[in-house]
Chains A and B, each alone.
Chain A
């Protein structure tokens, strides 16, 4: 049996979802787990039927699906009106990747017994895997309503919606799949994909509906920035601001671009403009403080960092910058005290430990410095280990 994490779902090539996915999901899905019940012999059976039924169950259990199909065909010859036998034959065929024949058998089973809920799900999955997404969808919807805790049903319904570009519905169902399996890479991947499709469509609509709006310029600026075209992004932000000078966030974004480009005075202008629009924004206050600190204007830096911390007391970057201002003023005790507060609330703050090391070293407190350096090295090592783990995952994807 395949490990569950090996199972593959593909939005665009449903046929690939079939055997591989179901084999691996055999033990995961409550519905498919329930299929073993289907393989039970009928209550009233002749000795021959009972024997065949036992053989069929064993073949299914052992994943000898061709053999199982032969056995259930024999059972159906002896008992053509057995809904369960048709359903089990359909299951064997489905697992062998013979979807059209599986669909026929599931349909016969449901004609004989419309209450076989598991068979309805299997019929839906067969439609899905044979590419008949439109037929699969209503059956999956019913199955989803009846079996909300089944990740397989949620996954297939979500992907069925995605294939039909019903992205909002897809996102809702795939989000539920993530709730059922919070660490599933497949669930997280497809939920993300649905969200991206929605975003993409919304942005395309924006280009059509409001091509000269400030949001359009803002979006274009963000994309240009993402592509590393900072100067072009600056132009777009300026256009956005021209369209809507009082929009929150535009001056801030432009300020961060100027800051990255080393145009600090212009960055200051933009952040100050932002503060007029968003007077209680901790990040804007922080960036102002940070730039004044870069410019060695300690007094101004402290003023804005203090405001940032009044709004957001736990803003570690502002606390660290404030400690740097104390350091520049020679107020080592205050700097150390503040940094100790930072590491007390977040012992993993590498930067704060490193700064503490520097301050202790400067003060000649070698033992304390050594201790902080050791802590920094340990945190750095852990971060490097995590980065390497992530890089390994990235290279696998």
Chain B
């Protein structure tokens, strides 16, 4: 009998946890380390004749909740929805206090939206695309009635902790201008891909500031505060700032970017024709074109976009790569948005921060005959 080792998805996760435990079990490490070494350093000849599979274009590209990147500033707070509420206050005529049920039973909208971490490296996993459901922030603000002069909307999260040179138990908070807060694309989201927000993604409620880098989409939201002053919060002032010698600019809108989904880094390819696939995004802007090349000295070739590009959500693209000879290749992809911004060849040498990293994604592959 051949044991396929199959199990249900949840069991797979349990098995993963068990295996992780196996690898860290104190008494086992010496014996297992030798095994890992034997497994990972072996130099085995590949006699693979794997052919690239389908030639169908990529269609819906949603990142599952379990695979969506998680980047938090503090430990994930465990919030019970029955003891949680959202306050909308500050410069408003009618302060609001809303329960989880109040929000979920209100009229909701569903928006596909790509979210990227401001520090995501080229081709990194800090980007994902999900369908978010929730209440447009504009509607709640309308109910609360912003007072004249309100210019800034501050989002307060429940996550907190102690940080050097900050007050004790500083909580995460970010602010956006009123204009962006009242844009129909800005949501208070309670659902991600049809499921309630997972704890790591902000249960019970988070902001979705579509088209802007992820840090403004504050998780575990407890308060929306309107003010007429620029926000001086720790995470607004100390983090997420583009720095040059004589420039200090807040990070806000996502820049044009792209990545390969196929092939992966170090993948071995056994084909003469290989369909390269990937995604490109440009935040509030649309993707105008995506280009591919099979090495630094090669010319850029136009890739095919699977559908017409939309703002806020990524666009799938593909390129049928005709391979003339075996060998090692460094594949590159770059995109251009509809305002003519193309991913830069190299990182701006004057930048003193680690945000907005959007040089072309490069993967090295080996083509075998």
Contact = CB atoms under 8 A, between A and B. Distances in A.
Q: Check if A and B associate.
A: yes
Given A241-B50, A252-B6, A387 B78 contact: yes
B9 interface: yes
Interface residues of B, number: 64
A78 interface: no
Given A235-B266, A265-B56, A211 B44 contact: yes
B268 A263 contact: no
Interface in B1-49: 2-9, 12, 16, 19-20, 22-23, 25, 27-28, 31-32, 34-36, 38-40, 42, 44-49
B105 interface: yes
A72 interface: no
Report which residue of B58, B196, B199 has the largest number of chain A beta carbons within 10 angstroms of its beta carbon: B196
Contacts of A295: 59-60
A370 B101 contact: yes
Interface string B265-281: 11110000000010000
Interface stretch (A95-103, A120-128, A225-233): A225-233
B262 A377 contact: no
Contact of B60 (A212, A261, A296): A296
A200 B32 CA distance: 6
Contacts of A199: 22
Interface size band for A? 35 or more
Contacts of A32: none
Contacts of A197: 28, 31
Contacts, number: 161
A241 B58 CA distance: 24
A304 interface: no
A207 B39 contact: yes
Interface stretch (B61-69, B86-94, B161-169, B324-332): B61-69
Given A204-B38, A220-B39, A223-B36, A361 B105 contact: yes
A203 interface: yes
B247 interface: no
A384 B79 CA distance: 8
A204 B50 contact: no
A266 B53 contact: yes
A231 B266 contact: yes
Interface string A1-25: 0000000000110000000000000
Given A204-B34, A283-B8, A381-B81, A260 B50 contact: no
A317 interface: yes
A169 interface: no
A238 B50 contact: yes
Contact of B194 (A260, A261, A269, A324): A324
A200 B105 contact: no
A377 B8 CA distance: 25
Contacts of B45: 212
Contacts of A226: 16, 19-20, 23
A396 B44 CA distance: 43
Interface string A189-233: 000010011011101100100011000100110111010001110
Interface stretch (A34-42, A140-148, A180-188, A242-250): A242-250
A262 interface: yes
B5 A196 contact: no
Contacts of A384: 78, 80, 199
A294 interface: yes
A137 to B, nearest CB: 20
B39 A223 contact: yes
Contact of B277 (A207, A230, A263): A263
B301 interface: no
B264 interface: yes
A388 interface: yes
Interface in B74-112: 78, 80-82, 100-101, 104-105
A373 interface: yes
Contact of A369 (B39, B48, B56, B105): B105
Contact of A239 (B19, B22, B44, B78): B44
Given A231-B267, A266-B53, A283-B6, 9 more contacts: A204-B31, A220-B42, A235-B267, A241-B48, A261-B264, A278-B4, A296-B60, A381-B82, A388-B78
Interface of A: 11-12, 193, 196-197, 199-201, 203-204, 207, 211-212, 216, 219-220, 222-224, 226, 230-232, 234-235, 238-239, 241-243, 247-249, 252-253, 256, 260-266, 268-270, 278, 281, 283-284, 294-296, 315, 317, 324, 351, 354-355, 357-358, 361, 366, 369-370, 373-374, 376-377, 380-381, 384, 387-388
Which 5 residue pairs of A and B lie closest in terms of their CB atoms, listed nearest first? A249-B4, A231-B264, A269-B53, A265-B54, A248-B4
Interface of B: 2-9, 12, 16, 19-20, 22-23, 25, 27-28, 31-32, 34-36, 38-40, 42, 44-50, 53-54, 56, 58-64, 67, 78, 80-82, 100-101, 104-105, 194-196, 199, 261-262, 264-268, 277
11 contacts: A196-B22, A207-B42, A235-B267, A243-B47, A247-B2, A253-B5, A265-B53, A315-B8, A324-B194, A366-B105, A377-B100
